Structure formats: C-alpha cells, structure tokens
Amino acid sequence: MEEKKFDLNSIIGFVLIGAIFIWMLYLQQPTEEEIAVEAAKIEAEQKAAEEASRQSQSDITLNDATTAMTAVTAKDSMGLLKLQSRLGSFAYSSTLASASNATTVIENDVLSLTISNKGGYVTEARLKQHTTYDSIPVYLVKNGNSTLNFQFSAENRLLNTQDLYFEPSLSLNGNNQVLTMRLKTADNAYLEYRYELIPGEYMTNFSIKSQGLEDVLNTSQPMYLDWKLKGYRHAKSISYENRYSRLTYEYEGDKHSKLSPTGDDQELEVAVNWLNFRQHFFSSMLLTDTSFKEVDFSSRDLVEDETTDTIYTKQYGAKILIEPKGGAIAQNMNLYYGPTDYKIFKKYDRDLDEAMPLGWGIFGMINKFLIIPLFGFLSGFLPAGIAIIMLTILLKLALSPVQYKQYLAQAKMKVLKPEIDAIKERLGDNKMKIQQETMKLQNIAGASPLKGCLPAILQIPVFYALFTFFPTAFDLRQKSFLWADDLSSYDTIYQFPGGFSIPFYGDHVSLFPILASLAIFWYMTMTMGQNMQAQQQPGMPNMKILMYLSPLFMLVFFNNYASGLSLYYFISNLITIGIMLVIKNMIIDEDKIKAQIQVNKAKPKKKQNKFQKKMATMMEQAEEQKKIQKKKK
C-alpha cells in the first residue's frame, strides 16, 4: 500500500490558480460611471413594474378574474389562457387600451351624459339648465344610482356587460354627437351600444346591435336588458315629491298603467312601448321602436319616514326580454333624461303625456285641451303667480252663467221656504206625505234642489282637472310669488323648531292654505248657511257639517301641497263670493222671483214626465204600504 504524502507542488499550483482568478475579477470590475448607469436602469425598471401592477389592479376586473395588464400586453400566455377560460372570445376586449374605468362625455346645451368604458352605459346624467331646491345641479344619474346591464349567453357562458369593457369611438353625424361603445371578440366582431345626442334635445337615440357574433352568441337562451335606477330627491317636500314619483309605462298598443307609489310593487307586462322612471318633475325613460316582448317591472318606496331627510325616493327596475333576429341583436331605442313637462312630451307624438298624472277621462281632456294651453299662453308673458290669478279669473268668468243658475235655484228655494214650513206643520210626522207635497209645490213653482245641485256638479270636472294640473305643472317649478319661494312646493311663514312635526299637518305653517280655508268657509257660509234649511229634505243627513269639514280639510291637507294650488283656490273662492254678491244684489230680485212663482202656480198643471210619474207612483205605493202596516198593528 502506497503511503500518502503532502504534495507541496499541488499546493503551490492551487494558490497560483486562485491568485490568477482573483486578478481577473479585479480587471473586470465596473467603473463608477457604469455602476451609476446600471443603478438608474434598475430603478426605472422597478418603477415601471410598480406602475403596471397598480394599473392592472384598478383597471382589469372581468367576472372576478384579475389579470395584470402588463402581463397580457406582454403576451403572457398563462394569464390570457386563464381569462379565456372565463370569458371565451370576449377576453379579447381585455387586451385593448379601453379596458379601464375611463369615461366619455357627450353633451348639448341642455343635457350632459357620461358613459363608462366598463359596462358601456350612462353613469352620469346631468340636466344643465335645472337645479334642485337647494341650488345643486339636477343629476338623474350619478354615483352608481343606476345600472344598465345586457345579459346574454355565449360559448356556454352567461355574460353580463356591466362587468365587461367596451371600446369607445366618438364621431359626428351632422350636428349630432355619436358615441359607439363596442365589446369586441375581434376587430370585426362585436356587441355595440350606440348613443346619438341631438342639439337642444333631452331625447337620445340609443341602440344595441351585434356584428359578426352569429357563431358566438347562444340565441336559444333568453337575453335580458336589465335597467335599475334609484331616484334622487330634488324637491323641498319629501312627501310631496314621493307622492308623484312613480313607474309608468305603455303596453299592448295604447294601454297605460303604473305601479303603486307606496310600498313594493311588481308587474309583468307584454308588448311594452316605453317606460318611465318618474321622479315627479323629472323623468328617466326608455322607449323602443319595436315593442319589448316582455318586461318585468318593479318599484320600491325608499322613504321610510317622511319627517326625516333622505337621499332617494324610489328604487325602480325593468328587466326587458330582448329577442334576437336571424342570430343577431338589433334593437333601436331612445333614452330620455329630462323634465316631466307636457309641452316637451307632446312634441314627440308618442303618448308620453300619459306618463303624467293629468287625470283620467274628461279631467285629462280638460287639462290637455284647455288648462295647459291657456296657462302656457298666460305664463308666456306674465309672472307665474299673476298667470295663476288670470287663469282663475278667466275660468270663473266662463263658469259664471252656471253659477247664476245655481244661485237662482237657491233663491227660488228660499222664497218657497215659508210654504214648505207650512206643509211640515200641517202634516206633522208624516215624512212621506211631506216629501210628496213638497215635490208638488216645487214642480209647480219651477224650483228644485236638483236645479241648484246640477250647476255645482258641472263645475266638478274643472275643479278636479285643476287639482291634478298644479302638482304636475313644470312651469311653476322654482317660480316665486309674494312670500312663496316656489309655487310648485309649499310656502312657509313659520318653521316649527327642533324638528317638531304635527301628524298629517307637517313641520311648518303655510299661509296660502290658511287664506284658502278662510275663503272657502266664507263662501260655504253664504251658500249653505242661509239656504240650508230651505234645501234640506226630510230624511236626508244634515249637510251643515260640510261648512266646517271642508275648510279644515283644506287647511290640513294642503299645508304640504303646491302653494300654486292653494293660491288658485284662494283667488277662486274670492271671485266666486264676488260674483254671488253681484248676482244677489244687482241681478236677482227676490220679489220678482216670488211673483213669477205665483204666476207659475196659476198656470194649468203640466203633465208629468215619465220620471216624475214613476217617482210619484213609487211614493204612493210606499204610502199605501205604510198604511197597510199600520192597520196590521
């Protein structure tokens, strides 16, 4: 066996090799300038990486899949494959520069719309010429209170456009601004939202169509356009605004309906032409050229306590079934963000005025063909308060012949009162006989309570039409008169301190309802007070209580109503009182009426008409029946 020895030559060799290696490293060492350049490069790369990371985190969120933008742009195959597995062909949209929360604004002189790349829908709608009660610009859409989502199936996936990114393109069509938002699977294959804004118009052309997606879309599955909106509060009175905030729509040709203004309500309708998320004086509407086959409407009242402050009034929803044609989507529509104004609605000739609560039947006709045109003419050259007064004067003058007939009938009944009292005294407790004799006397004299009631009934349609007109008159909004700051809302002469509120009355005192209550009490005292007993028929309830209930009702109920409506009733009753005094003191002579009644009595008795004969026969039969019952006893 060979003995191992320490080899000095080997040690020297290793030392020499190590020395040479160290010397070479020393010679390759970078200079200070090279070190500085390299450090700058490293710092720049780190900053770029950090910025890319931040951008990817904020801009790309597709169906809960977060993929770094820089990785996709750099053709990171693993990231793109993961996105592809979730979105299929629509993952292409995430590779575009538009895959961010950027927005595009289109606007004219009355309306400004902001449309987001993410979802492709309106995220802000501002009315440029209107403000709220506290002088803030009117926004119908802002801060996420509205969404518009198109839900469809593609490549065995259920997709929602509100989670996807569209590519915007802004152009002009004449003077109209056109914004196309495209959700792409390729450069020539996409789903498109198209917005076209016309100068001076609140109505925007809006359409949804597909291009080159026939092999991608699954048209056998239902497609839905889901529109949701929470209505912002814009008026001083929460309760008043909420009362007139309502979802309305047109369906099956020319039928119109609405959801409940209180609580939760839902309705499924077919063949819908338009729908309106009405917020009292402002509307958000969706209209279609081809009727929606089916729409699921929903409405929820968000005002839990009308005495406390609130941001929203109603939560509206409409889930619309969209029908593809030939494997493609093509739906032409309109979006309206603007005032709930009859004049604006009427010019579109699509029955949009039915979205306003103008009254049904004859009441709505009076508003549309008489009151609205007349008030529009007057307010065109007069302040709103003076226009209301002039409207009231003209209507009362037009109805004065009817009022004359009413007062004449009352005067005749007053003249006959002594004779009617004599009949009551002569017949005692025989109420049936008293009624028969009284009717005979009235028929001979040509006087009847009905002749006094009928003229009053004829005035009811105008009364009710005006009751529905004033709360919906956009021309009254933010128009002041005397102490009222806004004729479309209540006036305030005293605000209760410390949030104190009286049930049914409110937290303030309005002066116009007080004046209207006093005027109506005065009027009823003149008409009912002096003639109540003359007109009272046996067996009928005592109507004198109306003298007190009507003014009280006016005082309490109208305290939170539009001051313009209370102003109308105040002026109307004053004019009515004036007309009655003129008729009584200058036109009607009770002595002449009494003489004429005597002449009528002397004339040959007229034959009774069929109605009078029937009534007389019925009363005679009732009298005979009463006699038989007495004999049996």
H or E element at residue 410: helix 384-427
**105 or 406, which is more confident?**
105
Query: Which is higher by pLDDT, 108 or 14?
Result: 108
Token pair for 117: 């790349």
What are the helix (H) ranges across 301-368? 342-347, 361-366
Q: What's the whole-number average pLDDT of the chain?
A: 78
pLDDT tens-digit profile of 519-529? 888 877 776 65
Q: Which residues contact 336 (CB under 8 A, 6 or more apart)?
A: 202, 203, 204, 283, 284, 285, 286, 287
Say what the pLDDT of residue 22 is: 52
Output the pLDDT for position 394. 92
Mean pLDDT on 571-592? 77
Q: What is the pLDDT of residue 21?
A: 45
- pLDDT surpasses 60 at 28: no
> Please, which residues bridge with residue 137 across strands?
131
Mean pLDDT of 358-374: 89
Q: Which two tokens stand for residue 406?
A: 């009413």
Residue 321 has a pLDDT of 95
Cα(337)–Cα(616) distance, integer angstroms: 63
Residue 77 has pLDDT above 50, yes or no: no
Q: In the predicted model, is pLDDT for residue 382 greater than 50?
A: yes
Query: What is the rounded distance in angstroms from the CA atom of residue 236 to the CA atom of residue 310?
Result: 11
How many C-beta neighbours within 10 Å does residue 374 have? 15
Do residues 556 and 505 lie in contact, with contact meaning Cβ atoms separated by under 8 Å? yes
Tell me which fold the domain 103-357 belongs to: Beta-galactosidase; Chain A, domain 5 (2.70.98)
Tell me the pLDDT band of 69, cut-offs 50, 70 and 90.
very low
Q: Cite the beta strand spans of 55-136 per DSSP E.
A: 103-107, 111-116, 122-131
Tens digits of residue pLDDT in 134-154: 888 999 999 999 999 999 988
Question: For residue 605, is pLDDT > 60?
Answer: no
Q: What is the pTM of this model?
A: 0.74
In the predicted structure, residue 98 carries a pLDDT above the cut 50: yes
pLDDT at position 408: 72
Q: How confident is the model at residue 271 (pLDDT cuts 50, 70, 90)?
A: very high
Host H or E run for residue 413: helix 384-427
The percent of residues above 70 in pLDDT, for the chain, comes to 69
Helix ranges (DSSP H) in 473-531: 511-524
| 412/398: higher pLDDT | 398
524-567 pLDDT, tens digit per residue, is 777 665 455 444 444 444 556 666 777 888 888 888 888 888 89
Q: What is the pLDDT of residues 33-59, one digit of tens each?
A: 554 555 565 566 556 555 554 444 333
Q: What is the pLDDT of residue 205?
A: 96
Out of 15-29, 436-450, 587-601, pick the least confident: 15-29
The domain limits of the chain are 50-95, 103-357, 372-601
Residue 392 near residue 384 (C-beta atoms within 8 A): no
What's the confidence (pLDDT) of residue 550?
Answer: 76
Polymer length of the chain: 633
Give CA–CA dist 558/575, Å, rounded. 20
When mean pLDDT is compared across 95-104, 490-499, 582-591, the lowest value belongs to: 582-591
Q: Residue 166 has what pLDDT?
A: 93
Q: Which residues contact 529 (CB under 8 A, 6 or more apart)?
A: 544, 547
CA-CA-CA-CA dihedral for 280, 285, 291, 292, to nearest 10: -100
Question: What pLDDT is stored for residue 70 in this prediction?
Answer: 33
